Amino acid sequence: MFKYVERKSAKAKKRKGKSYVAEGKKPKLGSGKRFSALEGALEKKKGIRSPEKLAAWIGRKKYGAKKMGQLSAMGRKRK
């Protein structure tokens, strides 16, 4: 099962706030499972009002607007 878990390293403990790392085999890109796992991890963090919007922003920063649009269209087709 894929999920984000809190980092336990000494370096992560020194930093302010919580840090998460992916655990397990990553699902196929465009399935929506990565996005929902990121949302779940962001919900646990303090001070985040809209984890969905933040996850979308992170995705656009990583993949670009065009690729994120394609991925979201793939997700809509599957539902």
Q: What pLDDT, on the 0 to 100 scale, is given for residue 79?
A: 65
Question: Under DSSP, is residue 25 helix (H, G, I), strand (E, B) or coil?
Answer: coil
Mark 50-68 as b/e (b = at least 16 C-beta within 10 Å): ebeebbbeebeeeeeeeeb
Q: What is the pTM of this model?
A: 0.75
Using one digit for the tens of pLDDT, what is the confidence trace for 51-77? 999 999 999 999 999 999 998 888 888
Ramachandran class of 26: left when φ > 0, alpha when ψ lies in -120 to 50, beta otherwise: beta
